[in-house]
Amino acid sequence: MASEEMEQLVRRDYKQGFVTDIESDTVPPGLDEGTIAFISQKKGEPEWMLEWRLKAYHQWLKMTPPSWAHLDYPPIDYQAISYYSAPKKPEDRPQSLDEVDPKLLETYEKLGIPLHERAALAGVAVDAVFDSVSVTTTFKEKLAEAGVIFCSISEAIREHPELVKQYLGTVVPTSDNYFAALNSAVFTDGSFVFVPEGVTCPMELSTYFRINAANTGQFERTLIVCESRAQVSYLEGCTAPQRDENQLHAAVVELVALEDAYIKYSTVQNWYPGDEDGKGGIYNFVTKRGDCRGDRSRISWTQVETGSAITWKYPSCVLRGKDSIGEFYSVAVTNGRQQADTGTKMIHLGEGSRSSIISKGISAGRSNQAYRGLVKVGPRAKGARNFTQCDSLLIGDQCGAHTFPYQEIGNATATVEHEATTSKIGEDQLFYCQSRGISEEDAVSMIVNGFCKDVFQELPMEFAVEAEALLNVTLEGAVG
């Protein structure tokens, strides 16, 4: 790859970098019991929720940030962050899209997400999160007809406390890790999905998260529960405006699948990665875990990670049920000075549980990327099966690609396979394409897309198109 093209790649601008000027109701930076009480009160939460938050806060105080990841960043000052920000006048929240602040709609427009159009055309219900408060929820009625609950977590805490109480924190306990504890104490929004027994959710559910007000970390909490024989496909997409300060993002996602249930969770993450010197950019510390609680349940994670300055994310599956299935499909692209330490954990506890992991990493510029995975087979997981394939593609000689796969196998009937390769785009492959009249840029794009095919084909249709476009944008310049 010619060096000026590399230059171009590094200098590419963040297309979604802009700031929407909406007055925010922001709490001053700092974190103590008062902040948590403020958040809880703002959200109109019951007493037990505040207690739950405070318990998490006290656990967090005793914990230290993890240092094992292959990441390099200055220590985060948790007292310099503002933990609550909401668009003004939360009480008269718009009831439909027409009532939504036109400025907000404009923001989505710029993002290329024409909310109403998209919702109508694609049949997707959108629970758009602007900063920390759910602004609008569409298609609620259609979902209600099917008996599906899809609302913000704050609303769920108020409207469906018994469900939230039953499942919240059962997959990711408050003391699970440093960032999960922090999230449990201060989470401000996120989605709640409940699909009752035997129901297949009539449409794909989607939430677009967007961090807006400067200095505000976003701590969303998502909980998805599928009862027996229920099914849901959930889409999460992210993008954030350009900022100079690093923005902390520590989300927790919990999935619960009971007997024969199927949850498909797809993510496209395109947050601001920082400028060419690595300045700014989102710090993304996410705990995502699915619990295949019931027999024959299935949880599938698909992620396309192109953004954030730092990504620390390991969507995992606890395969508790007999013959349960866990899947992880990931494409991670890093460029500039981005750092990503991502992967998955498959914990096989149930007999006959199966999991597959397909991870594709592409590093360019001066970025560093690590796949970190764990496949653990417990003594009772008779006949457990895992297949892992993780491939890395290197573009340029200043980047790094690393693989840290852990296998802990405690069962003689388990079959576990791991394969990994690291290479660059073959000169012969490029030559082959170019000799057939395909430009270098198109050839690289084609090869990279082919490299990611196994993952893209797991994405829902609209996401797959978006993901391919995103990949091309991210590698623009590098690929030509």
Partner 1 sequence: MSEVQGFLDRLSERAAARGAEPTWIAARRQAGAARFEALGFPDRKVEAWKYTDVRGIARGDFALAESADFSPASAAALTLPIAAHRLSFVDGVFAPALSDLGELSAGVSVERLSQALAANHEAVGGALGRLAGVDFSPFTALNTAFAEEGAVIRLAPGAVVERPIVLQFLSSAGATPRMSHPRVLVTAGARSQATLIEHQVGEEGAANFSNLVSEVLLERGAILTHYKLQELPQTDHHIASLHVDQARDSRFTSFNLNLGGALARNDIVSDLNGQGAEANFFGLFFGQGRQLLDTHTLVNHNAPLTFSNENYKGILDDRARGIFNGKVIVKRDSQKIEAHQNNANLLLSDRAEIDTKPELEIYADDVKCSHGATTGQLDEEAVFALRARGIDEATARGLLTLAFAGEVMEQVAIDAVAERVELAVAGKLPERFNLAGLVEAAVALHEE
Radius of gyration of the CA atoms of the chain, in A: 22
- Considering the rule CB under 8 A, would residue 480 count as an interface residue with partner 1? no
Tokens of 411: 């069962």
Angstrom distance (rounded) from CA 349 to CA 323: 10
x/- contact string, 424-443, with partner 1 (CB under 8 A)? x-------------------
Q: Contact at 8 Å (CB) between 269 and 306? A: yes
d(CA 371, CA 364): 15
Q: What is the nearest approach in angstroms of partner 1 to the Cβ of residue 356? A: 14
**332 makes contact with partner 1 (CB under 8 A):** no
**Which of these segments, 220-228, 277-285, 316-324, 419-427, binds partner 1 (CB under 8 A)?**
419-427
Of the two residues 55 and 418, which places its CB atom closer to partner 1 in the complex? 418
Amino acid symbol at 316: S
Pick between residue 6 and residue 238 the one whose CB is nearest to partner 1.
Answer: 6
Q: Which is nearer to partner 1, 175 or 411 (CB)?
A: 411
Residues 6+ apart with CB under 8 A from 95: none
Q: Which stretch binds partner 1 (CB under 8 A): 9-17, 194-202, 258-266, 388-396?
A: 388-396
**From the CB of 385, what's the least distance to partner 1, in Å?**
10
User: Least Å distance between CB 369 and partner 1?
Assistant: 10
Phi, psi of 321 (to 5 degrees): -70, 155
- With residues binned 3-state (H G I as helix, E B as strand, rest as coil), the percentages for the chain, rounded to 5, are 25, 35, 40
Indicate the residue among 296 and 372 with the shorter CB distance to partner 1.
372
Q: Map the footprint of partner 1 across residues 211-230, applying CB under 8 A.
A: none
Span from 122-130, 178-186, 256-264, 401-409 in contact with partner 1 (CB under 8 A)? 401-409
Report if residue 419 touches partner 1, rule: CB under 8 A: yes
Which stretch in 167-175, 283-291, 405-413, 455-463 sits in contact with partner 1 by CB under 8 A?
Answer: 405-413
Q: Any contact of residue 422 with partner 1 (CB under 8 A)?
A: yes
Residue type, 87: P
Q: Which residues, at least 6 apart from 170, have a Cβ–Cβ distance to it below 8 Å?
A: 254, 256, 291
Torsion of CA 235, 263, 290, 421, to 10 degrees: -70
Strand 354-364 to strand 385-395: parallel, antiparallel, or no bridges (unpaired)? parallel
Q: Which of residues 103-122 bind partner 1 (CB under 8 A)?
A: none
- For residues 135 and 128, the answer to whether their CB atoms sit within 8 Å is yes
How would you label 287-314 residue by residue, b for 16+ Cβ within 10 Å and e otherwise?
Answer: bbbbbbbbbbbbbbbbbbbbbbbbbbbb
Please give the structure tokens belonging to residue 454: 């196994």
Q: Identify which of residues 156 and 358 has a Cβ nearer to partner 1 in the complex.
A: 358
Task: Pick the binder of partner 1 from 68, 91, 141, 162 (CB under 8 A).
Answer: 68
63 binds partner 1 per the rule CB under 8 A: no
Q: How far is the CB of 407 from partner 1 (least distance, A)?
A: 5
Q: Which of 423, 434, 439, 457 binds partner 1 (CB under 8 A)?
A: 423
Residue ranges in contact with partner 1 by CB under 8 A: 68, 70, 379, 392, 394-424
